[in-house]
């Protein structure tokens, strides 16, 4: 039986006792149209006028997390553990098995963004979940063995470690300066321009100052917004779709494998995500992170925990800007 265990020294949670099942029917893609019975029934499908699905979302066949029950916090001596409460979903982004995101039509990327938004809103309604993480791994180096374009949605009773660190640093910065940390990052990056890949009215695409891998790219809203799923105006969502697609075209020219993660605000519940009278919505600023995973362009974290990057972010930004597949309006 799988369970969450907290490492008391590092403070992070790990899942232990999860058994992987063998994937069925080698060579047959469970995500292709016609093979729907190979996956659990869909939670949500977006269909065309003829009733054929364009995107599907369904629970993972062998989920690490279970939706039923509570977080079931308990102790073993002084150690903390809890049941693996959570939602573990997959989104098949397109009917095409071979099309990578850079080859999607804007209308297709728009449906992907729509599905991400819907799933985050839906799962955040469940107060047992503290966080909803949407991510995507593309390429075998990332551990993704199904080529068919798909994303993961994970809702957990724990805020994932990296987001938890981002929240802590954002809160400290806000308490000290009364300003949002990423708003400060955005304004300095726009002013300096040297790590900026694309700039539109509402979004900035940049190579972060301390990139962990070569060609790491973040997409951030220029105006302070805590949650990815709260678009406000339709036009802003459409602008994001354009920027996202344009960025993927640039990324796929430099990397065959990459990971994407959407860092939205945590789920606001009554049990104290606002501390020192500051609201998480004031200090957390959503962003989308893209980490290319090419052996030649980047090296994974070394055993000493220092990332080593061979292409400086300033240089990466120049190269990504130059690969100009399409002008933005």
Per CB under 5 A, the list member of 183, 196, 241, 316 interacting with Zn ion is: 183
- The interface region with Zn ion, picked from 96-104, 208-216, 294-302, 316-324 by CB under 5 A, is 96-104
Beta bridge partners of 66: 85
- The interface region with Zn ion, picked from 3-11, 67-75, 123-131, 277-285 by CB under 5 A, is 277-285
Q: Which is nearer to Zn ion, 2 or 103 (CB)?
A: 103
97 binds Zn ion (CB under 5 A): yes
29 binds Zn ion (CB under 5 A): yes
Q: Are the C-beta atoms of 221 and 207 separated by less than 8 Å?
A: no
Touching Zn ion, residues 103-142 (CB under 5 A): none
283 binds Zn ion (CB under 5 A): no
224 binds Zn ion (CB under 5 A): yes
Residues touching Zn ion, count (CB under 5 A): 11
Task: Give the full edge-to-edge strand order of the sheet including 44-47.
Answer: 44-47, 53-59, 87-92, 150-156, 131-138, 258-263, 287-292, 217-221, 203-206, 196-199
Q: Which is nearer to Zn ion, 29 or 318 (CB)?
A: 29
250 binds Zn ion (CB under 5 A): no
Task: Print the SS3 string covering 98-116.
Answer: CCCHHHCCHHHHHHHHHHH
236 binds Zn ion (CB under 5 A): no
Interacting residues of 23 by C-beta distance below 8 A, sequence separation 6+: 145
- SS3 state at 306: coil
279 binds Zn ion (CB under 5 A): no
Per CB under 5 A, residues contacting Zn ion are: 29, 31-32, 97, 148, 180, 182-183, 224, 263, 285
């Amino acid at each position: 039986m799988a369970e969450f265990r907290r490492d008391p020294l590092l403070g992070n949670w790990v899942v232990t006792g999860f058994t992987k099942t063998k994937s069925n029917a080698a060579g047959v893609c469970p995500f292709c149209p016609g093979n729907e019975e190979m996956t659990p029934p869909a939670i949500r499908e977006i269909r065309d006028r003829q009733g054929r699905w364009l995107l599907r979302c369904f629970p993972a066949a062998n989920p690490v997390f279970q939706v039923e029950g509570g977080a079931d916090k308990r102790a073993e001596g002084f150690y903390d553990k809890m049941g693996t409460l959570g939602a573990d979903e997959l989104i098949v982004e397109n009917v095409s098995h071979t099309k990578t995101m850079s080859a999607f039509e804007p209308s297709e990327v728009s449906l992907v963004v729509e599905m991400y938004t819907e799933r985050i809103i839906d799962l955040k309604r469940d107060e047992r979940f503290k966080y909803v993480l949407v991510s995507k791994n593309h390429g075998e180096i990332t551990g993704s063995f199904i080529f068919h374009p798909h994303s993961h949605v994970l809702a957990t009773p724990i805020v994932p470690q990296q987001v938890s660190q981002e929240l802590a640093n954002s809160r400290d910065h806000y308490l000290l300066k009364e300003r949002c940390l990423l708003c400060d990052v955005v304004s300095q990056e726009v002013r300096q321009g040297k790590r900026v890949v694309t700039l539109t009215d509402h979004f900035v695409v940049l190579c972060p100052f301390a990139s962990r891998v070569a060609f790491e790219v973040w997409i951030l809203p220029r105006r302070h917004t805590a949650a990815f799923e709260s678009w406000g105006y339709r036009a802003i969502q459409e602008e994001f779709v354009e920027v996202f697609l344009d960025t993927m075209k640039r990324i796929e020219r430099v990397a065959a494998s990459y990971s994407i993660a959407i860092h939205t605000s945590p789920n606001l519940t009554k049990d104290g995500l606002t501390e020192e009278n500051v609201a998480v919505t004031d200090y957390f600023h959503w962003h989308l992170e893209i980490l290319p995973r090419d052996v030649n362009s980047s090296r994974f974290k070394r055993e000493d925990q220092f990332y080593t990057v061979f292409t400086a972010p300033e240089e990466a930004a120049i190269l990504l800007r130059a690969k100009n597949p399409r002008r933005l309006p």
